[in-house]
Structure 1
Amino acid sequence: MLINAIKTFLVRPRSTRNIIRFNKRNTSSSTKLTSSYYHHSSSLPFIYKTLSQNFDETATEYANDECYVFKSEQKRYTFKSFKDEVDSLAASLLELGLEKNDRFAVWLPNTSENATMSFVASKLGLVKVSINPAYVGRELEYCINKVGCKAILLSSSVKSIDSLSIFRHLVPELDQQSSTNELSLKRLPTLKHIILTGKQQPPKSLPIHSYRNLLEHGAKISHNKLNERQASVNPDSPVAIFFTSGTTGHPKAATLTNFGMINMSQGLTEHLGPHFTRLCVPIPMFHIFCEVVGVLNVATSKCKMVFPAILPDPVATMRAIHEEKCTAMIGAPIIFRDILAHPDRKKYDLTSLAYCGLGASPMSIEFLRQVEMELPVKRAAQLYGMTENSAILTSSLWTGDENQTRRLASLGRCMPRLEIKVVDREGTTVPIGQQGEIWARGFPIMLGYYGDTQKTNEAITPSGWLRTGDEGRMDEDGYLFYIGRQKEMIIRGGVNIYPIEIENAIIEHPNVSEAQVFSIPDARHGEEICAWIKLKPDASKCEPEDIARFLLDKIAFFKIPKYIRIVDKFILTPTGKVQKFKMSESMVNELNKK
Structure 2
Amino acid sequence: MNCANDSSRERQLSPCTMGDIAELAADSFCDIVREHARNQGEVIAFTYGDEEISFAALDEDANRAAHGLVALGVKPGDRVAFLGKNHPLYFEAFLGAARIGAVMTPVNWRLAAPEVAYILDNCGANVVFVGEGFAAMIEQVRADVPHVTHIIGIDAPEHDGPDYRTWKGSFPATPPAHVVKPEDDALQLYTSGTTGKPKGAVMTHGSILSSRDATACGEEMRKWQEPIPGDVTLLAMPCFHISGTGTGIGTMVAGTNSIVLPEYDPTKALDLIANFNISKIFLVPAAIQILLNHPKVNEVDFSRLKYVTYGASPIPLELMREAMRVMGCGFVQMYGMTETSGTIVALDPEDHVPEGSPKMRSVGKPLAGVEIKIIDEAGNEVPTGTVGEIATRSSKNMRGYWNNPEATKATIDAEGWLRTGDAGYLDEDGYLYIHDRVKDMIISGGENVYPAEVENALYSHPRVADVAVIGVPDPKWGEAVKACVVVKEGEELTEAELIAHARTLIAGYKCPKSVDFIAALPRNPSGKILRRELRAPYWAGKDRAVN
TM-score in terms of structure 2 length? 0.74
1:416 and 2:371 aligned: no
Offset from partner CA, 1:367-416 (integer Å, 9 cap, x none): 32222113x13221210001001011111118567997366332111111
2:332 match:
381
Report matched runs for 1:551-566 at 5 Å: none
Asked if the contact 1:154/1:195 (under 8 Å) is kept, the reply is yes
What is the aligned counterpart of 2:341 among 377, 390, 395?
390
What is the aligned counterpart of 1:188 among 132, 139, 145?
145
1:479 and 2:431 aligned: yes
1:296 maps to a residue whose letter is I
Counterpart-to-counterpart distance in 2, 1:217 and 1:46: 31
Distance verdict in 2 for CA 1:486–1:108, change over 3 Å:
same
Report matched runs for 1:164-175 at 5 Å: 164-171=135-142
Asked if the contact 2:189/2:200 (under 8 Å) is kept, the reply is yes
Query: Which is further off, 422-431 or 460-469?
Result: 422-431
1:385 maps to a residue whose letter is G
Counterpart-to-counterpart distance in 2, 1:247 and 1:347: 45
Offset from partner CA, 1:405-463 (integer Å, 9 cap, x none): 36633211111111111111221111111111100011111111111111111111121
1:259 and 2:237 aligned: no
What is the aligned counterpart of 2:33 among 16, 33, 55?
55
Asked if the contact 2:64/2:96 (under 8 Å) is kept, the reply is no
2:407 maps to a residue whose letter is K
- The Cα shift of 1:211 comes to 0.6
1:458 match:
410
1:170 maps to a residue whose letter is V
Asked if the contact 1:471/1:483 (under 8 Å) is kept, the reply is yes
Offset from partner CA, 1:283-309 (integer Å, 9 cap, x none): 0011011211x10123422322122x2
1:146 match:
122
1:295 and 2:248 aligned: yes
What is the aligned counterpart of 1:278 among 193, 211, 232?
232
1:362 and 2:314 aligned: yes
Paired residue secondary structure (2:45): strand
Asked if the contact 1:275/1:327 (under 8 Å) is kept, the reply is no
Report matched runs for 1:116-127 at 5 Å: 116-127=92-103
Paired residue secondary structure (2:47): strand
1:302 maps to a residue whose letter is G
Asked if the contact 2:28/2:181 (under 8 Å) is kept, the reply is yes
Offset from partner CA, 1:541-594 (integer Å, 9 cap, x none): xxxxxxxxxxxxxxxxxxxxxxxxxxxxxx99xxx9986xx659x4333788xx
2:515 match:
587
Asked if the contact 1:46/1:263 (under 8 Å) is kept, the reply is no
Structure 1's unaligned 5+ residue stretches are 1-21, 24-43, 172-185, 490-498, 501-515, 522-526, 537-570
What is the aligned counterpart of 1:106 among 75, 82, 90?
82
Counterpart-to-counterpart distance in 1, 2:334 and 2:397: 16
The structure, 1 or 2, with the larger RCO (C-alpha pairs under 8 Å, 6+ apart) is: 1
Q: Give the number of aligned pairs.
A: 448
What is the aligned counterpart of 1:443 among 395, 398, 412?
395
Paired residue secondary structure (1:470): strand
Paired residue secondary structure (1:320): helix
Report matched runs for 1:81-100 at 5 Å: 81-100=57-76
Query: Which is further off, 104-113 or 261-270?
Result: 261-270
1:198 match:
155
2:162 maps to a residue whose letter is H
State the identity as a percent: 23
2:184 match:
237
2:537 match:
none
Paired residue secondary structure (2:302): coil
2:318 maps to a residue whose letter is E
Asked if the contact 2:24/2:32 (under 8 Å) is kept, the reply is no
2:516 maps to a residue whose letter is V
- The Cα shift of 1:264 comes to 3.4
Counterpart-to-counterpart distance in 1, 2:469 and 2:66: 55
Distance verdict in 2 for CA 1:319–1:267, change over 3 Å:
farther
Asked if the contact 2:63/2:173 (under 8 Å) is kept, the reply is no
1:322 and 2:298 aligned: no
Query: Which is further off, 131-140 or 419-428?
Result: 131-140
1:227 match:
176
What is the aligned counterpart of 1:68 among 46, 60, 68?
46
2:497 match:
none
Paired residue secondary structure (1:154): strand
Distance verdict in 2 for CA 1:398–1:418, change over 3 Å:
farther
Asked if the contact 1:422/1:439 (under 8 Å) is kept, the reply is yes
Counterpart-to-counterpart distance in 1, 2:245 and 2:237: 9
Query: Which is further off, 391-400 or 468-477?
Result: 391-400
Counterpart-to-counterpart distance in 1, 2:95 and 2:213: 16
Give the root-mean-square deviation of aligned CA atoms: 3.7
Distance verdict in 2 for CA 1:247–1:345, change over 3 Å:
farther
Paired residue secondary structure (1:139): helix
Counterpart-to-counterpart distance in 2, 1:193 and 1:468: 37
Counterpart-to-counterpart distance in 2, 1:46 and 1:216: 29
TM-score in terms of structure 1 length? 0.68
Counterpart-to-counterpart distance in 2, 1:333 and 1:248: 28
Report matched runs for 1:476-515 at 5 Å: 476-488=428-440
Asked if the contact 1:356/1:377 (under 8 Å) is kept, the reply is no
Distance verdict in 2 for CA 1:55–1:477, change over 3 Å:
same
Asked if the contact 2:211/2:369 (under 8 Å) is kept, the reply is no
Distance verdict in 2 for CA 1:320–1:426, change over 3 Å:
same
- The Cα shift of 1:139 comes to 1.5
Distance verdict in 2 for CA 1:260–1:274, change over 3 Å:
closer
1:132 maps to a residue whose letter is N
1:306 match:
259
